Structures are given as C-alpha cells and as structure tokens.
Amino acid sequence: MATKTPERLLNQIKRVASNENYYKLSGTSAREKASSFFGSFFGSNAQEKPSAPSAPSAPSSSSSSSSSSSSGSSGILGGIFSASASTSGANGANGFQLSHMIAYVFAILCVLMIIILFVHFFITPIFRLRPGTPGLIPVPGFDDGILYWSSSSTLLPNATLPIRNQSYGYSLHVDIFIENPLALSPQPRLLFHRGGVLKDKPSGETMLGILTRYNVAVALAPDTNDLIVSVLNKNHGMETSVLSNVPVQTPFRLSMVIMEQGMEVYLNGQLMRTRRFHAAPLDIKGDIVPTPGLATLRQLKLWGRILSASEIREATPALTTANDFNLGPIPSSTSCTASLSDASTSTMDAAAAAAASASSRLSSTGSSLFTTS
C-alpha cells in the first residue's frame, strides 16, 4: 500500500501534464491577453510571465480572431491616450511659458515704477498731485480743499469746517457776483464774515463799527465798489487790505491766504495785495456767515494750509459763470438812490432860499444907503 501510492501520484501528474484542456481551464491564454492589453494601454513593455508551464497547443480560429481584435482595440486606445498625453504636455508647457512672461512683465513694471518714484521725489517732480503744483502727469484724488456753497450760500457751522481749530494758516476762495452796487450805506456793506457779532447800532465807516470780535470779514466800502478785506489781530486792531473798483454785474473770484504774520489777497488768481500784520490774528474760531442782499456767493473752498500763488491760480473748480448765478440787471431805482435824490432836492431848495434871503438883504441895505446919502 505504501509502495503503490507514489506510483499512483506520479501517474496522475503525467496524465494532467499531457492533458491539453488543463491550460484552457486554467485561464493561461486569458492572462496573457490581459497582460498584452494592459501593457499596450499603459505603455509598458514588460510581459507577464506565465505562472504555470504550458505545452504547445494549436491555436483555434476563435482564439486567434479574438486576440487580433483585442490587439487592434488596444492599439487604437493606446494611440488615443498617447495623443492626449502629448497634447496635455504641450498645453502645460504653454501655460508655464505664459505665466513666466506675465511675471517678467510685472517685475519690469515694478522696477520702472521704483525708478520713476525716485526721480519724482529726489530729482524733479513727475506727478502733479494737486492743481498748480509742479509735475507733468496730473493725478486726481489728492486735492485737500473742501468745497461749499455749490448751489446756495448758507451759514457754515465752525464744527464742520476743515479750519475749525485754526485762526490763521489757512486759505480760501469764493466766487462773488455783486448784483446791486447802488445799495449805498453809511457803514461798510458786509458780504460775509467768520466769527464776530453784528452790532445792534452800527456806527462809523470801519469794520469795527458794524462787527465785534471777528476773524475775517469781507465788505464793500460804504459808497463805492471798493472791496475791504479785514482781519482782526490780537491787539484788537484791524489789518485791512482794499481792492479798488472790483467788477460789478460780473463774477469774480476772491482768494485769501491768512498767515500768522500777514495775508495775501488775490482777484481772479492774480495777487493784488500783500499785508504784513502788526500782530498775529486774534484767536477767534467761528461760523462762516454770508450776508444776503447785496451780492450772491458761490463755491467757497477752504484749505487748512497755506497755498502757493500757482495753486491759487489753478484752483478748481473753475470760476462760476454769470449764467450760473442766474441774476438780473441792476435795478433802475433803489431806496438809496431815492434818498439821494431827495437829499439833493432839499439841498437845492435850501441853497435857493439862502440866495433869495441874501438878495433881499442886499436890496434893503442898498436902498437904505441910497436914502441916507
């Protein structure tokens, strides 16, 4: 029993080895086909080694046809995937080159900007940050002036002003249209003022005759179209500049630069008066109050700093036109002109009466003398 067992096993092994259907059942050809398909799909040249020995066998027609079809399909798929891989590689290379070009251009622009800024701040100005300042390229958004009275002039509380903590060291301009210069008065005819209190009973022909404790006041002279610009100093003395014969029924721009030691007065961007103060301005900070009736005010602009002459000359916005003021001609008659005509008539009547009385006295004296003689 023990001697027969090895012989029987050996015979069984020989029988299995000689059996051709064993390999068909074991799936050796299927593994080989799968190996060739996946190898062409992934581009691998390695072939899978058979796990079990195989004996030569005659391939059938069905297996050959299936193998040819599978090899054809694998070739087609391999071409498609290889083409897509090459296309994606080309696109990746193009994207890489484009990103590098953008980075190079950005770096060049940064270097140029650094050079331009160096030239602007240390050699010569290139950018014009504010109107009237040196430079070639205007840059908007840096004007630090605050504009008021675009459509109407109303009281401006000091708390809302950029100069609320300053009694000097600031600049302003305002567009003025004098509508009726014939509205005469014994005192200065006030246009607007900052700070100060109007007197109940005006007196005299100076600014202190109508206003007390003011910072800046602008008025017309009592009986002419001379413009008075006055600052009250800390000794309560008036520091006054007069612009002779300002335009009437024509808009003009009045600009002022109030400094600690003096002030500059401009008319339509041109420097007209420079006055040195006897003392610094009085520390008065108050509302800006327009006085209606005599003139119309527009486009008051305030800066909390001292402007140069070129900045005053090129300050924006442009001067308001006469059409924007939309005002009529000078009135044909006013109460002032009527009072003047009445006064002149009474003066003439008084002169005539005086002449008549004098002639009567002369005639009576002459007759008496003639009688005596």
Structure confidence by residue, pLDDT tens digits, 346-361: 434 444 444 444 444 4
Is the per-residue pLDDT at 334 higher than 80?
no
Q: For 39-63, what is the mean pLDDT?
A: 46
Token pair 């002149």 is at which residue? 344
Between CA 128 and CA 137 the distance in angstroms is 5
Between CA 37 and CA 48 the distance in angstroms is 11
Let me know if domain 146-325 sits in CATH 3.20.130.10. no
Q: For 315-322, what is the mean pLDDT?
A: 92
Between CA 74 and CA 36 the distance in angstroms is 9
Residue 172's pLDDT band (cuts 50, 70, 90) = very high
Comparing 44-53, 157-166, 320-329, the range with the smallest average pLDDT is 44-53
Is the per-residue pLDDT at 111 higher than 60?
yes
Q: What does the pLDDT read at residue 133?
A: 75
Is the per-residue pLDDT at 177 higher than 90?
yes
Asked if 248 and 278 touch (Cβ cutoff 8 Å), the reply is: no
- β pairing state of 127-128 and 137-138: parallel
Token pair 């004996």 is at which residue? 55
Is the per-residue pLDDT at 288 higher than 90?
yes
Is the per-residue pLDDT at 373 higher than 50?
no
Is the per-residue pLDDT at 60 higher than 90?
no
Residue 131's pLDDT band (cuts 50, 70, 90) = confident
Q: What does the pLDDT read at residue 16?
A: 58
Is the per-residue pLDDT at 338 higher than 70?
no
Mean pLDDT value across the chain: 76
Quote the percentage of the chain above a pLDDT of 90: 46
Q: What does the pLDDT read at residue 358?
A: 41
Which residues 6+ apart lie within 8 Å of 265 measured at CB? 229, 241, 243, 254, 255, 256, 271, 272, 273, 274, 275
Q: For 3-17, what is the mean pLDDT?
A: 65
Is the per-residue pLDDT at 35 higher than 90?
no
Phi then psi dihedrals of residue 195, to 5 deg: 70, -175
Q: Locate 233 and state its tokens.
A: 């100093």
Q: For 98-107, what is the mean pLDDT?
A: 89
Q: What does the pLDDT read at residue 250?
A: 93
- CA torsion sign for 172, 175, 180, 182 is positive
pTM, 2 dp = 0.60
Is the per-residue pLDDT at 205 higher than 50?
yes
